[in-house]
Structure formats: C-alpha cells, structure tokens
Amino acid sequence: MKIIVLTLCILSFSLNVIGQKADLKVILEDIEESKGTIYISLHSKEETFPDNSDDSVITITLTDFDSNAEYTFKNLDIGDYAISFFQDLNDNEELDTNFIGFPKEPVGASNMTSLARPKFSKCKFSLESDKTLNLQFMN
C-alpha cells in the first residue's frame, strides 16, 4: 500500500511540473538608435544558439520602439532558455558583420558580459515561474 501511495505522489508531482507554464518578459534597455528592426530569439538548446534561426523556440521582430523595447513570451514550458538579439539598423533582415565576423550592428544575449560569441552554457537561465529580464546591447 505504501508503494502505491508513494508512486501516486511521484506521478502527481511529475505531471504538475511537466504541465507548468510561465511568461518571460524581455526588456531591452538603452537602445541608442530607434530605427530598424530588433530580432529577439528564444532558445532552449545549444545547437540553435545564438543564431536567429527557424530552429529557435521562437524569433520575434520589433519595429515600434524608442530607447527601450519589450516583449513578453507567453505560456513557455518551465526549463532552461537563452536569449539572443540584434538590431538590424538597415533592415536587410540579417546581422551585418565585418570581414572577420565582428558585428557591425548592435547585438546581445542573456547573461552576456563581454563582446564575444556567446555560448548557451553561459547565457542560459532557468525559467521556473513568470520572469522579467532587463538586457542591454553590447555595442
């Protein structure tokens, strides 16, 4: 009988965790130029990060912003995520880089502290309940 009760408790807990959802509000601060398009990509695995690709969980675009921009990702599964973003100043739908691959347009990622190619392991964060991230471009 104890085994049945314990099994039911574990199963009930597992179903609650699996079904949990949360919202993630992303606020990009101190935007230098309010022009172009901002691309924000939400990633749940290292293989897609930091590229803004169809393989990310979702990529959104923002065209209406000033010195700050914000977007809320709704009803996300609980888990680990990382965010990458860039501002397409000339609206050519891609991140412009110089001949060695250094970005010519503003870029950033969650938990990013220096201007280098971000890694998922360093940029990831846990989403366990509704959360707000305040992020800045690395110019």
In the chain, what are the domain boundaries?
21-136
- Cα torsion 48, 54, 76, 47 to 10°: value is -10
In the predicted structure, residue 6 carries a pLDDT above the cut 50: no
Cα dihedral 115, 118, 122, 128 sign = positive
Q: What is the DSSP letter of 1?
A: -
Q: Which CATH architecture does the domain made up of 21-136 adopt?
A: Sandwich (2.60)
User: How many CB atoms sit inside 10 A of residue 28's CB?
Assistant: 24
For the question of whether the overall pTM of this predicted structure is more than 0.95, the answer is no
Per-residue confidence (pLDDT) for residue 2, from 0 to 100: 52
Q: Which residues contact 46 (CB under 8 A, 6 or more apart)?
A: 119, 120, 121
Confidence tier at 53 by pLDDT (50, 70, 90):
low
Q: How many angstroms separate the CA atoms of 51 and 74, rounded?
A: 21
Confidence tier at 19 by pLDDT (50, 70, 90):
confident
- Cα torsion 100, 137, 80, 57 to 10°: value is -70
Q: Which residues contact 70 (CB under 8 A, 6 or more apart)?
A: 25, 26, 27, 28
Q: Which token pair is 18? A: 């699996």
Per-residue confidence (pLDDT) for residue 91, from 0 to 100: 96
More confident residue, 98 or 13: 98
Number of helices (H), then strands (E), belonging to the chain: the values are 2, 8
